[in-house]
Amino acid sequence: MATKTKTIEPIIWRENSLFLLDQRVLPHQQSWIEFNDSSAVAEAIKTMVVRGAPAIGVAAAYGVVLAARQAWDMAAVNWKQVLTASLDELADSRPTAVNLFWAIQQMQRVMDELASDQSPEPHLLEAAQLIHRQDVEANKKLGQFGAALLDDNSTILTHCNAGALATAGFGTALGVIRQGFSDNKVTHVYVNETRPWLQGSRLTAWELMQEGIPMTLQSDSAAGLLMASGKLDWIIVGADRIAANGDTANKIGTYTLAVLAKYHGVKVMVAAPVSTIDWNLSDGSAIPIEHRDSIEVTHFNQEAIAPHNVKAVNPAFDVTPADLIDAIVTEAGVILSPTAQLMLKLKQN
């Protein structure tokens, strides 16, 4: 059954400009920022105005459009040479989200086929809009595949935000939850707050409440107690990069949840589009882990919550081994108990 819920659109192209919903100020403010410069888009990705691997990829694709406009205005027939620096800047904005590099590569393929004496913007805009549409379609399809795995009256735990805000719309992990709720399979969702950026409490809780999906917010450290209670059926998360064998990089804390889930007999589902799979990496040990400024851990709303000059680390992601994952759900199908051989079923040329 198709989902009946309406979801948020965090990325809009309108009147030759890119508009991003500023996720740093949600849920108390809904503020849109207009972009006409690729460097500003790269900074928006870096500073988490836009976040979530699929959304980063879509935003980067539009960033390439803006960069091409600038390159054509600046250099005309030499626009390809000028554009290289902007593409590098976009690629450097977030190291872990493979969708970023995938989207830039898709745009590069279009660029390679264009003549130097024509403005690249119309062709690249068409390509970016296709990436945008395909992300929403992929999320809805994987949502249906994921929901089909759920039993009736399922209770779900999700970590971070893998909803409409983290994609072009609808969501990956929340796409499964939305579809499951529409199909009367999901009765309740527990949301980890997700320190230190609080994507769970600020974003996921807001999305679920917008759509009337029953939910409860909890601290990250309460997850073990919830699993021990026997009330939890599935942990459903998104992904920022999946290695060829199914090892998955996701928001820091996901690995901890997966280890606890194995002990307590709770199933783990990773929901992500095929573009999140990095076929060049045989396993998760080679996935680059972004380390962000320690101030995100030592401060809250720019106010210190830790002793002055305390040493702190702030890895943004961890890697969950494939043998702790029960299902990887994509728009191309579902892999149960993923292995490198099984994952090849998802490979698309």
- Asked if residue 144 has pLDDT above 70, the reply is yes
CA-nearest of 185, 187, 186, 161 to 174 is 161
Q: What pLDDT is attached to residue 292?
A: 94
Tell me what the pLDDT averaged over the chain comes to.
95
CATH node for 141-346? 3.40.50.10470
Q: What pLDDT is attached to residue 7?
A: 61
Q: At what angle do helices 98-112 and 79-91 cross, to 10 degrees?
A: 170
- The CATH number corresponding to 11-136 among 1.10.357.10, 1.20.140.10, 3.40.50.2000, 1.20.120.420 equals 1.20.120.420
- Asked if residue 255 has pLDDT above 60, the reply is yes
Residue 10 contacts by C-beta under 8 Å, 6 or more apart in sequence? 20, 21, 23, 50, 55, 164, 165, 167, 168, 169
Q: Catalytic site residues? A: 240
Q: What are the DSSP calls for 285-325, one per residue?
A: GGS---B--THHHHEETTEE-S-TT-----B-EEEE-GGG-
Q: What pLDDT is attached to residue 348?
A: 66
pLDDT tens track for 263-291: 999 999 999 999 999 999 999 999 999 99
CA-nearest of 191, 257, 193 to 227 is 257
pLDDT tens track for 36-59: 999 999 999 999 999 998 999 999
- Asked if residue 5 has pLDDT above 50, the reply is no
The number of beta carbons lying within 10 Å of the beta carbon of residue 87 is 22
Listed in sequence order, the DSSP H helices in 95-147 are 98-112, 121-147
Residue 192 contacts by C-beta under 8 Å, 6 or more apart in sequence? 157, 158, 159, 160, 200, 218, 219, 220, 223, 253, 257
What is the DSSP code (8-state) at residue 328? E
67 in Cβ contact with 87 (< 8 Å) = yes
- Asked if residue 252 has pLDDT above 60, the reply is yes
Three-class secondary structure of residue 30 per DSSP: coil
Q: What pLDDT is attached to residue 6?
A: 54
pLDDT tens track for 104-136: 999 999 999 999 998 999 999 999 999 999 999
Q: Residue ranges of the domains in the chain?
A: 11-136, 141-346
d(CA 19, CA 68): 17
Percent of the chain with pLDDT over 90: 94
pLDDT tens track for 61-77: 999 999 999 999 999 99
Displacement of CA 259 from its chain's centroid (Å): 22
pLDDT band for 95, please (50, 70, 90 cuts): confident
Q: Are strands 277-278 and 241-243 parallel, antiparallel or unpaired?
A: parallel
Three-class secondary structure of residue 223 per DSSP: helix
Q: Could you tell me which residues are annotated as the binding site for substrate? A: 51-53, 94, 199, 250-251
- The pTM of the full predicted model, rounded to 2 decimals, is 0.91
Q: What pLDDT is attached to residue 96?
A: 84
